[in-house]
Amino acid sequence: MEQQNHRPRVLLAKIGLDGHDRGAKVLSRSFRDAGIEVIYTGLWQTCEATMYAALQEDVDVVGVSLLSAAHMTVMPELLRIGKELGIEDVPVVLGGIVPAADYPGLKDMGVSEVFNPGSPLDKIIETITRLAAKRKARDFDGIRAGYGDGNAKALAQLITAIQHGEDLGGWTPPPGEGVVIGVTGAPGVGKSSLIGRLGGMLRDRGKKVAVVAIDPSSPVTGGALLGDRLRMMTGKPDADFFIRSLSSGTSQGGLGPRCREVVSVLEGFGFDYVLVETVGAGQADVAIRELSDHILLLLMPESGDVIQFSKAGIMEIAGGFVLNKCDLTGADATEAQLRSAVGQDRPMWRVSSVRDEGIDAVADWVATL
C-alpha cells in the first residue's frame, strides 16, 4: 500500500511516580503548535500501558518524560514490551534528568534520542519530525490478514490508512453487530471520564469495547492535542478495551474525517460496543446522529434553563441524558429544568464520575440496547 504524507503522531508519556507534568504539558502544546498530533497520557503511567497505547494509537514516535532517575530501568522495559507487541520499529525518545554518562548505554539499548532539560524546543521538534518521517511503507495485504486474525496492531494500522484516505483496493470490513453509542456534550462536561468508567463496567460484564475519541485540530497549524485518552487509561491494559484518538481536521459538527469508516472497521473487528466521543459540542453539532445507534448527551449543573434545554439541535437527538458532576451545587435545579423541558419519555441519570456514582445505571441501560 502506498504511504501518503501525514501529520506526525506522537505519544507523550509520564512513566513512574513523577509528581508533576508541567514540562510535558508545555511540550504537548508546543507539538500542537508545530502541526503535530500529540496523544498525552498523563501522570503515573506504566511501561505496559504506555506501549499498548502506542500500539492502539499507531503513533510515529513515543516520547517519554522521566524525572525520577529511573531511566536505566524504565527504558529497557519499555523497549522490551514494544518488541513483544511488534512495534519495535516505532522510535522511542527520552527527556529528563539523565546524566551524560548514561547516553551511550541508552543509545545502545535502542533509545533513538535523549534530551536534557536544557534542550532547545526547536531541536526537539525537528528530531520528532525527522524520526516520524522515517515511517515505513505498510503492506496492506499483511494488514488485512492480521485484521482478519484479530490482531490489534493490524486494526490500528488499518484505521490510520483510512484516516489518510489511502487506497484499500475496494476492501471493506465484514459486517459487525456492535452497538454504536455517541457521547456528546459541551467542553469540560466530563465525557472522557464517563466513557472510561462506563467502558470499564461494560468490560466487567464481558463485553468488548472500542472508543473513538475526537479532539479539535488547530485552525492555525493543523496540529492537535489529543488528551481524552488520559482520563480512560488504567495501569493495566486490556486487549478488549481499544481506544483510538482522532483529530477533527476541518470536519464540522463534532466529528472528524472518515469517522463512519473507522467505526465500521471497529464493528467488523467484533467489538460489542463502539463509544464515539465528539469534540466539545454546541447546540448545532449534530453530526454524531449520522453514525450512532443511540446518543447520550452529557450536561452539568447550572448549564442551562428550560428555554435553553428546549432549543432545537443537540437536545433533540439525545436518546438519554446524563447529568454529570452532580457532586456540584445546582444539580437539583438543573435536573428539574431539564426534565421540564424534555419530558418523561427519555431516560435521565444523575452521575458523579469523581465519586463513581450513578454510572452503573447508565451501564444497565446500555446493556439493554
What is the three-state SS of 4-68? Answer: CCCCCEEEEEEECCCCCCHHHHHHHHHHHHCCCEEEECCCCECHHHHHHHHHHHCCCEEEEEECC
Distance CA 37, CA 214 (A): 12
Sheet holding 37-40, edge to edge: 113-115, 92-96, 61-66, 9-14, 37-40, 224-226
Q: Which residue has the cell 520499529?
A: 89
pLDDT value, residue 36? 97
- Residue 362 C-alpha cell reads as 447508565
* pLDDT single digits (tens) 131-189: 999 877 788 889 999 999 999 999 999 999 999 888 888 899 999 999 999 999 999 99
pLDDT at position 3 is 40
Q: Taking 80 as the threshold, does the pLDDT of residue 368 lie above it? A: yes
Which residues, in sequence order, are bridge partners of residue 63?
A: 12, 93
pLDDT band for 20, please (50, 70, 90 cuts).
Answer: confident
Of 70 and 265, which is predicted with more confidence?
A: 265
Neighbours of 98 (CB within 10 A): 21
Domain spanning 179-367, CATH class? alpha beta
Give the cell for residue 222: 493543523
Distance CA(50)–CA(227), nearest Å, equals 14
> Tens of pLDDT along 51-61?
999 999 999 99
User: Can 9-132 and 179-367 be said to share one CATH topology?
Assistant: yes
Mean pLDDT across the stretch 274-301? 94
Least confident piece of the model among 72-76, 233-237, 301-305: 233-237
Whole-number pLDDT of residue 4:
40
pLDDT at 1: 37
Vertex 179, ends 178 and 185: CA angle to 5°? 140
- Quick one: which H or E segment has residue 246? strand 241-247
Amino acid occupying residue 347: P
CA 301 to chain centre: 26
Calculate Rg over the CA atoms of the chain: 21
Residue 5 scores a pLDDT above 70: no
Q: What is the mean pLDDT of the chain?
A: 92
Greatest alpha-carbon span in the chain: 68
Mean pLDDT of 280-299: 93
CATH number of 9-132: 3.40.50.280
Express each pLDDT in 209-230 by its tens digit: 999 999 999 999 999 999 999 8
- CB neighbourhood size of 235 (10 A): 9
Q: What pLDDT shows up at residue 311?
A: 81
Domain boundaries of the chain, sorted by first residue: 9-132, 179-367
The candidate with the shortest Cα–Cα distance to 4, out of 121, 159, 163, is 163
The pLDDT of residue 283? 86
Output the pLDDT for position 286.
92
Mean pLDDT, rounded, for 20-47: 92
- Predicted local confidence at residue 270, as pLDDT: 97
